[in-house]
Amino acid sequence: MPSGDPPVIRSNVPGSFPWSVLHDRHPALIRKVGDATPYGPDRRRALDLLLREITDGVIGPLEGAVHDRELWESWDRGHVGGRWDDAPFLWAESYFYRKLLAAVGYFDPGPWQGIDPFEPFKRAELLGKGVDAELRALDGLPGMPAEEQAQTLLQRALWGNQADLGFRLSAGGAQDGGRTTDLPADDSDLLWSAVDGPRPARICFVADNAAGELLPDLALIDHLLHARQVREVLLHVKPVPYYVSDAVPADVIACVRRLSAAGGRAGEAGERLWSAMGSGRLAVRAHVFSCAPLPYSEMPGDLREEFASVSLTIMKGDLNYRRLVGDRMWPPATPFASAVGYFPGPVAALRTLKSDVVVGLGADVVTELDASGRPWRTSGTHAVIQART
């Protein structure tokens, strides 16, 4: 980011949203993870140690012969050994999840190696009745005009970002998929113009959460491949479990199977997506930088080349938005195109607001939202569709 950019968001203001994440959400998550899986005494001791560490406020190093030590040392920026509250909020959140995986033995030889500590939460959501209703709603699409179908699928993917299990751990989080029509920025036309531009189109779709959010994402991807005749979609997910409900490759398979088993229009989409994965038209990516504690402005060269090569990159969700524009105290009227000027190709963001950072809003819109007295930046009741093509 240029030197003139505003300061990064930190967690050192008691009562602020970032402070509440580190001091309330993360301790609650440690307890929930411990309750959801029958870890033995060694893993429970490790979870207790992590809880004490984040409570005491000093960032400890990764211990033992960890496979990614060199990588995390390159991402450190001198924060290890300092206070959790003083590190950039984005960095501290990400490092917490890496340490949580270490505590549950995700990377260590033994019975818990490769076991997703968030899988019980993802599975419960994927099998829930709310998902049944969402999938049945796809049966109503054929009665709509083509462009209305497209916009409906886009909106469902956008508001699906409320299905964030980590967000629901915080007081005031939108529960049970409650949604509003508040969309203070809507660049839908720019997004579709990039999709329908010079052929053959290739799209990068950078996913956020699994289960209840990934299902409408996949329905949108099916629309891109089937109705919009996009040649290829590169679906980026996380290589390891991250941020409670973030999607990993196994979640993609689980969601495609869930679609296929639903019957109706959902089942047809699931079968098409399964076939598209087999033919390579839908390719899953799991780049290590997807779990980096850094903004996309610091992405490695191979990822930059991929984003530069496609017709459009769609960044989904709050975390990807923070990494895309930079997790900074931007004036909300900062143009979206300015904040993402470094990005190597056309880019769009589908994001429900669940953290402080936001750009691309009109000054009058911000004044009206602030006057409401509600925490519109962090409550999940507002969303944006923003694009730079």
Residue whose entry in the numeric block shows the structure tokens 């950078």: 206
The pLDDT assigned to 175 comes to 38
Angle, helix 119-126 to helix 249-262, in steps of 10 degrees = 20
pLDDT of residue 173: 38
pLDDT band of residue 179 (cuts 50, 70, 90) is very low
Percent of the chain residues topping a pLDDT of 90: 87
Tell me the C-alpha to C-alpha distance, in Å, between residue 347 and each of 221, 247, 323, 331, 358: 16, 20, 13, 21, 16
Which residues sit opposite 362 in a β-bridge? none
The pLDDT score that the predictor gives to residue 1 is 43
- Residue pLDDT, tens place only, 93-119: 999 999 999 999 999 999 999 999 999
pLDDT of residue 163: 57
Q: Supply the pLDDT for residue 121.
A: 94
Rounded to an integer, what distance in angstroms lies between the CA atom of residue 124 and that of residue 126?
6
Structure tokens at 313: 């990159």
Which amino acid, residue 109?
P
Domain residue extents for the chain: 17-115, 123-168+181-388
CB 350 within 8 A of CB 376: no
Residue 146 has pLDDT above 70, yes or no: yes
d(CA 189, CA 79): 42
Q: What are 325-341's pLDDT values in tens digits?
A: 999 999 999 999 999 99
Residue 299, pLDDT score:
98
What average pLDDT does the chain have?
92
- Mean pLDDT of the 201-212 span: 96
Confidence at residue 189, expressed as pLDDT on a 0 to 100 scale = 96
pLDDT tens string 14-51: 999 999 999 999 999 999 999 999 999 999 999 999 99
Q: What is the pLDDT of residues 234-253, one digit of tens each?
A: 999 999 999 999 999 999 99
First to last CA, the chain: 20
Q: Write the pLDDT tens digit of every residue in 314-324.
A: 999 999 999 99
Average pLDDT over residues 164-182: 46
- In the structure, what pLDDT confidence band is assigned to residue 302 with cuts at 50, 70 and 90? very high
Q: What average pLDDT does the segment 136-140 reach? A: 93
E strands present in the chain: 185-186, 202-206, 232-236, 282-285, 312-316, 347-352, 383-388
Give the mean pLDDT of 215-231.
97
Q: Do domains 17-115 and 123-168+181-388 have the same CATH topology?
A: no
Q: Determine the pLDDT at residue 177.
A: 39
- Among 135-149, 165-179, 219-233, the range scoring the smallest mean pLDDT is 165-179
Distance between CA 337 and CA 331 in Å, rounded?
14
Label residue 199 by pLDDT band (50, 70, 90): confident
The letter for the amino acid at 129 is K
Beta-bridge partners for 268 = none
> 17-115 belongs to which CATH class?
mainly alpha
Residue 281's identity, in one-letter code, is R
Per-residue confidence (pLDDT) for residue 171, from 0 to 100: 36
Question: Is the separation of the CB atoms in 212 and 134 below 8 Å?
Answer: yes
Homologous superfamily (CATH) for 123-168+181-388: Uncharacterised protein PF01937, DUF89, domain 3 (3.40.50.10880)
Tokens of 325: 């524009």
Q: Can you give the pLDDT at residue 56? A: 85
**168 pLDDT more than 70:** no
pLDDT class for 2, splitting at 50, 70, 90? very low
Per-residue pLDDT of 337-377, as tens digits, reads: 999 999 999 999 999 999 999 999 999 999 999 999 899 99
DSSP label at 140? G
Which has the closest alpha carbon to 86: 178, 7, 197? 7
Q: DSSP H helical segments within 67-185, as ranges?
A: 69-75, 89-103, 119-126, 129-137, 146-159
**What's the full length of the chain, in residues?**
389
Rounded to 10°, the helix 41-56/26-36 angle is 170
Average pLDDT for 134-141? 92
Predicted local confidence at residue 181, as pLDDT? 55
Confidence label for 205 from pLDDT (cuts 50, 70 and 90): very high
* Angle ∠(7,59,109) on CA atoms, nearest 5: 125
